[in-house]
Amino acid sequence: MGHTTGLGPVSAVTETPVRTLRETVGDRVADAALIVPAAAVMVITVVGQANEPVPVSAWVLYADRVTGVLSLLALWWRRRYPVVVGIALAVASSFSETTAAAAIVALFTVAVHRPARVTAAVCATSLAALSGYQLRWPEAAVPPLTVFVIIGLGHLATVAAGLSVRSRRALVASLRERVAAAEVEAQLRAEHAEREAREALAREMHDVLGHRLSLLSVHAGALTYHRGASPQDRARAAEVVRESAHRALQDLREVIGVLRAPVGEPPPGAEDVPELVDEARRAGTPVELRDEAGVTTGGPSLPGTHGHTLYRLVQEALTNVRKHAAGALVVIRITGRPGDHVTAEVVNAPPAGPPSHPGGSGAGLRGLRERARLVTGQLDHGPTDSGGWRVGLRLPWPS
């Protein structure tokens, strides 16, 4: 039975690779390049036997030539059964002179497609067969030792050529595998980058819209539950709702603009923290900002990513206070110096009543921890001894 993946059903049996037309044509051209010379050598051998008659009966010569033709036909299956064809032709060459060339081609095929140990065995069989034929029918014009040396060198050259082709094919296959692996790795990296981009966008949307929508929730709730408020208070709350909605849309446009085109206005940084504090105060949250480092008052500036991370820390902390400790006093303290570290700490007092949004997914704090990690910073958070909550951030501050 097969199993399924995200791409569809996958068979448990490995499928045989489909050969392309180009590969098939190439194999047939290679067959012709080897079989045609072998046939030519066989014809030359037959002509030589006719010009220089051997003292054997006619039926022996006829059997020799029929075996030679059959050996040429056997080469058609040399790729499918290289060892069988190689040994069969080697044995046939022990009594058939016209089979010698085909036996050499078969030996070459074994060297290309089979391991060195198998090649050595087939080569030894072929050497023994041809040497046995020469011992039975020695060349009159050439010394026997010279013939044996020629046979041996011919076999060694054939094996060397086959091993060279085998090595080159293995190298090409290895390069193809590396290219394929590199393509898969590049695809995985692209998918990972896309996933990280989506997560970064989700964090940005959570930080931006969560802050704005919490302001909307606070003032909309005031309008709903304090119907006896004076017209001035209701007008002020409605104005805050309108302004917060406008800013939420503006922030959303900025996030989408960054997604569409990375080049644009820089994201908010540490110098924009006082604006967050003012918004929180207008929403009814008492906030004290103690900036001993001066990063929010025009003093030494933090680099873009570091300043943006500090801004998101304050934004997320104020948003959580409005959700879980509405009306509690919040103290923001920033310390540090360039070339060392900058530390930001947001502490809120215990809530005066039950939280308006009990519980929570913790996505904001996880996003802050990820932001801090990306700039080699540290985030810690937890309850205080007095029953409040503390969120602290420590970032390197390049000089």
pLDDT more than 90, % of the chain:
14
9 found inside a domain: no
240 found inside a domain: no
Exposed/middle/buried for residue 88 (C-beta within 10 Å: 0-12, 13-18, 19+): middle
Asked if pLDDT for residue 100 goes beyond 80, the answer is yes
Of 73 and 132, the structure prediction assigns the larger pLDDT to 73
pLDDT at 7: 40
214 found inside a domain: no
Q: Pick from 154, 169, 186: which residue ends a domain? A: 186
Going from the C-alpha of 349 to that of each of 29, 239, 288, 378, 387, the distances in angstroms are: 86, 28, 12, 23, 7
Residues 180 and 285 in one domain: no
60 found inside a domain: yes
Please report how the helices 144-225 and 304-324 are oriented relative to each other, as an axis angle in degrees rounded to 10. Answer: 40
Residues 24 and 167 in one domain: yes
Helix (H, G, I), strand (E, B) or coil at 100: helix
Asked if 161 and 111 touch (Cβ cutoff 8 Å), the reply is: yes
Predicted TM-score (pTM) of the model is 0.42
Asked if pLDDT for residue 255 goes beyond 70, the answer is no
Q: Pick from 171, 186, 201: which residue ends a domain? A: 186
Residues 24 and 139 in one domain: yes
Domain limits for position 386: 271-399
Residues 147 and 294 in one domain: no
- Which one-letter DSSP state was computed for residue 3? E
Please report how the helices 58-74 and 100-113 are oriented relative to each other, as an axis angle in degrees rounded to 10. Answer: 30
Of 70-84, 189-203, 257-271, 308-322, which gets the smallest average pLDDT? 257-271
Taking residues 237-252, report their average pLDDT.
70
Exposure on the CB side of residue 306, measured as CA atoms within 13 A: 23
Residues 27 and 140 in one domain: yes
Please write the tens of the pLDDT for every residue from 345-360.
Answer: 999 998 877 665 555 5
Q: Which of 201, 195, 196, 187 is nearest to 7 (CA)?
A: 187
Residues 176 and 303 in one domain: no
Q: Based on the structure, what is the number of domains in the chain?
A: 2
Asked if pLDDT for residue 287 goes beyond 90, the answer is yes
Q: Pick from 129, 161, 186: which residue ends a domain? A: 186
The CATH number given to whatever domain includes residue 301 is: 3.30.565.10
Asked if pLDDT for residue 290 goes beyond 90, the answer is yes
Residues 182 and 278 in one domain: no
Tokens of 351: 């809530």
Asked if 316 and 365 touch (Cβ cutoff 8 Å), the reply is: yes
Asked if pLDDT for residue 253 goes beyond 60, the answer is yes
How are strands ordered across the β-sheet holding 389-396? 287-291, 330-336, 341-348, 389-396, 378-383
pLDDT at 6: 39
Tokens of 332: 């923001």
163 found inside a domain: yes
Please write the tens of the pLDDT for every residue from 65-90.
Answer: 888 889 888 888 888 888 998 898 88
84 found inside a domain: yes
202 found inside a domain: no
Taking residues 300-320, report their average pLDDT.
88
